[in-house]
């Protein structure tokens, strides 16, 4: 059986390949989610969403429910789909506006945390997208890193975006 040819997570999502994430229509000021691998839409892809966010000095960020989402093809890096949630929602749930907790740590520590997540995704996403188990300890390490990075109030949005990947990580 021929192995599915995939582009690395970092190349697709971090914009190192053709800047596909810049091709989607995300207004300035929106918060953009981490991209998660998923197979639920019929192709190996990375799904992400964006939400309006209000950032005021000395105030916590207030983030609205996602209003758009997209898929980046894991084989080519191209935008495979873009949709407004009002026309084609990615979830049955109705999300509400949330107040995000203040990030804990220095900017350097937060960047390091994101780099760790991206590195772990680079290792694990191909396993998931090819229907392979992957190393259980690495899956659990990524799950813990995502839990530490994604505020609890946003976790349901991520679970709704890529329930197949989130369930795989937790096994």
The C-alpha atoms of residue 69 and residue 91 are separated, in whole angstroms, by 11
The C-alpha atoms of residue 40 and residue 18 are separated, in whole angstroms, by 24
pLDDT at 111 over 70: yes
pLDDT at 1: 40
The C-alpha atoms of residue 23 and residue 66 are separated, in whole angstroms, by 18
pLDDT at 16 over 50: no
- Of the candidates 63, 64, 74, 68, the one whose C-alpha atom is nearest the C-alpha of residue 91 is 68
Exposed/middle/buried for residue 36 (C-beta within 10 Å: 0-12, 13-18, 19+): buried
pLDDT at 57 over 70: yes
Q: Global pTM?
A: 0.92
| CB proximity list for 140: less than 8 A, separation 6 or greater | 169
Between 136-149 and 163-170, two packed helices, what is the crossing angle to 10 degrees? 120
């Amino acid at each position: 059986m021929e192995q599915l040819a995939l582009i690395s997570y970092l190349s697709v999502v971090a914009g190192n390949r053709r800047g596909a994430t810049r091709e989607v229509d995300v207004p300035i000021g929106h918060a953009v989610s981490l991209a998660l691998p998923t197979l639920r839409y019929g192709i190996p892809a990375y799904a992400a969403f964006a939400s309006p966010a209000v950032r005021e000095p000395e105030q916590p960020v207030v983030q609205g429910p996602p209003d758009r989402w997209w898929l980046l093809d894991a084989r080519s890096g191209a935008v495979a789909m873009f949709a407004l949630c009002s026309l084609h929602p990615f979830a049955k749930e109705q999300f509400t506006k949330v107040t995000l907790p203040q990030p804990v740590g220095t900017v350097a520590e937060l960047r390091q945390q994101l780099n760790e997540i991206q590195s772990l995704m680079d290792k694990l996403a191909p396993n998931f997208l090819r229907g392979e188990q992957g190393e259980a300890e690495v899956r659990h390490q990524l799950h813990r890193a995502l839990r530490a990075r994604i505020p609890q109030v946003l976790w349901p949005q991520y679970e709704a975006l890529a329930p197949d990947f989130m369930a795989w990580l937790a096994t």
